[in-house]
Amino acid sequence: MCFKELEESFKDHCGIFGIYCPDKKLEVAKVTYFGLYALQHRGQESSGIAVNDTGTILYHKDNGLVNEVFNEVVLNHLKGHSAIGHVRYSTTGKNDRENAQPLVVKYRKGHMALVHNGNLVNAHIIREKLEQEGAIFQTTIDSEVIANLISRNRIKSDNIEEAILKTMDEIKGAYSLLILTPNKLIAVRDPYGLRPLVMGKINNSICFASETCALDTVGAEYIRDVEPGEIVTVTKDGIKSTKYRQSFKHLCVFEFIYFARADSYLDGISVYEIRKKLGKQLCKESYVECDIVIGVPDSGTTAAIGFSEEAKIPFSEGFVKNRYIGRTFIKPEQSQREISVRLKLNPLKNNVAGKRVVLIDDSIVRGTTSRKIIKMLRDAGAREVHLRISSPPVLFPCYYGIDTPDRKELIAANYTTQEIAKILGADSLEYLSLEGLNSVFENKLQNFCTACFSGEYITEIPEGFNKYIFEEGV
């Protein structure tokens, strides 16, 4: 598909939302629907919601956007006092409806539904071990591994929280989980806090979401972030917190740079503010004399505004983006190749013609999109194009739930900055420095996962790991 080239940015794997409404005054499936709607940017391939009503878990899930998968009739069937939901970005081209979440299983204590955002790095090892003991697997998602472990650990545990703690001893990697059991809604965040998870309140209902923008959308008040290594259990009797024996703060820094919606706050920090500051810092580090500052829509806009303010060079729009771009499967014929790029973006010719342009983007992955965008600007008459990136070079793949290519496809891992500038056709190229990034985070960058820049992974990465590992044999 032609657009994929253009949409070469990183992709997060999932968004999750859950709610417990003890008095059933809210229609939990609908609230979850709207919560997922606000998290759609975190995953557009599949959507699902499970509800619990007196031990009976009903669910519906399929490939598609939230508003494609659900309608009034389906939502009206999903009655209950608690609900969890999931949107997913699929990393593979396969028809993998079976991999949609929530995963709903029956185990000895009744039914359980799970949704998961993140990526385990040792799921393949656990699966192999469980398979050696005779277990069978029906999907390729980590949630199935986690559900198996919880079920097994539940045997020797007094309660599910204990079983989850034992499971946390076994699984390594990134996970924000929401679990529905006959009586509980449980939120779990891995001990490193790699993926975000926030908690809110609507009247006397408690809800959880990947980002605060979902709380805002459903009209919930923000309470606090679920802490790294924390298990929050909600029942009709209220909220209980259980802590894993150790925890660290290592929220993925890319949530701030690119994934999260600008209006969200993660661990109490405004995503928008960070992005603007990244633009300002970028300007401090690599100012260049120019006529206008433009951002790659939409991901580079906020940093561009920050850069513009700092540089005192006017911010301007360089492109118009087609707001109706959706999933199209029509491929332009060979002779119409350029269409694929133009379908999404068109430069504002007389805004850039004859100008020296600073072009801001949040990151470069393979560089294919950047090259096309720079060519568009030049074709539109830009005199100079100086590319500025509001994050350091991505040198290492992510193992914690972000869809990155192999190292050999990461342009920054293979070329010098000058070489990249040349490949992309830019007059100059500068990245933000790691120090600059640190300063934007008020010198607390050690509290974030920056493995994609530094290669210093928070956890051990087991040999043989790759993210499609379970699908290879399929």
Give the residue numbers marked as catalytic.
14
**What phi, psi does 216 have (nearest 5°)?**
-55, -45
Among 1, 4, 24, 106, binds a second copy (CB under 8 A): 106
Interface with a second copy, residue 348, by CB under 8 A: yes
- CB neighbours of residue 316 within 10 Å: 17
The widest CA-to-CA distance across the chain, in whole angstroms, is 73
CB 326 within 8 A of CB 354: no
Please indicate if the annotation marks 428 as binding a ligand. no
Which residue from 14, 18, 44, 185 is in contact with a second copy, where contact means CB under 8 A?
A: 44
Question: Which of these segments, 109-117, 246-254, 409-417, 418-426, binds a second copy (CB under 8 A)?
Answer: 109-117
Beta strands in 279-423 (DSSP E): 292-295, 319-321, 345-347, 356-361, 384-389, 402-403
- Minimum distance, C-beta of residue 213 to a second copy, in the bound complex (Å): 6
Contact between 287 and a second copy per CB under 8 A: no
- Given the complex with a second copy, which of 140 and 404 has the nearer CB atom? 140
342 scored as a contact of a second copy (CB under 8 A) = yes
Residue 474 binds a second copy, judged by CB under 8 A: yes
Q: Pairing mode, if any, of strands 82-88 and 46-53?
A: antiparallel
Is position 218 an interface residue for a second copy (rule: CB under 8 A)? yes
Pairing state of beta strands 103-107 and 345-347?
unpaired
CA 62 distance to own-chain centroid: 19
Does the annotation flag 283 for ligand binding?
no
Euclidean distance between CA atoms 189 and 230, whole angstroms: 6
Minimum distance between the CB of residue 337 and a second copy, rounded to whole angstroms?
A: 8
Tell me phi and psi for residue 83, to 5 degrees: -155, 150
Nearer to a second copy, 182 or 425 (CB): 182
Tell me the closest approach of the beta carbon of residue 140 to a second copy, in angstroms: 8
- Taking the least distance from each CB to a second copy, the nearer of 196 and 347 is 347
Within residues 55-94, the interface with a second copy by CB under 8 A covers 55-57, 60, 65-68, 70-72, 75
- Separation of alpha carbons 360 and 350, rounded Å: 19
Q: By CB under 8 A, tell whether 33 contacts a second copy.
A: yes
Nearer to a second copy, 309 or 384 (CB): 309
Window 111 to 140, contacts with a second copy (CB under 8 A): 111-112, 128, 131-138
Per CB under 8 A, 441 contacts a second copy: no
User: Cβ 336 to a second copy, closest distance in Å?
Assistant: 6
Report the first-to-last Cα separation within the chain, whole angstroms.
23
Contact 115, 14 (CB under 8 A): yes
Size of the site for a second copy (CB under 8 A): 99
Q: Per CB under 8 A, does 335 bind a second copy?
A: yes
Mark the segment that binds a second copy (CB under 8 A) among 171-179, 268-276, 362-370, 408-416: 268-276
Query: In what helix (H) or strand (E) does residue 225 lie, and over which residues does it extend?
Result: strand 221-225
Q: 26 in helix, strand or coil?
A: coil
> Of the two residues 56 and 454, which places its CB atom closer to a second copy in the complex?
56
Give, as ranges, the residues between 152 and 181 that touch a second copy (CB under 8 A).
152-155
Residue 57 · residue 115 · CB < 8 Å: no
- Binding mask 294-313 toward a second copy (x if CB under 8 A, else -) reads ----x--xx--x---x----
At which residue do the structure tokens 């986690």 appear?
146
By the rule CB under 8 A, 334 interacts with a second copy: no
Of positions 82, 99, 181, 217, contacts a second copy by CB under 8 A: 217
Residues contacting residue 32 through CB under 8 Å, at least 6 positions apart: 17, 18, 19, 49, 51, 83, 84, 85
* Residue 299 among known ligand-binding residues: yes
CA neighbours closer than 13 Å in the CB half-sphere of residue 316: 19
Question: Annotated binding site for Mg(2+), which residues?
Answer: 299, 361-362
Return binding residues: 252, 299, 361-362, 398, 449, 452
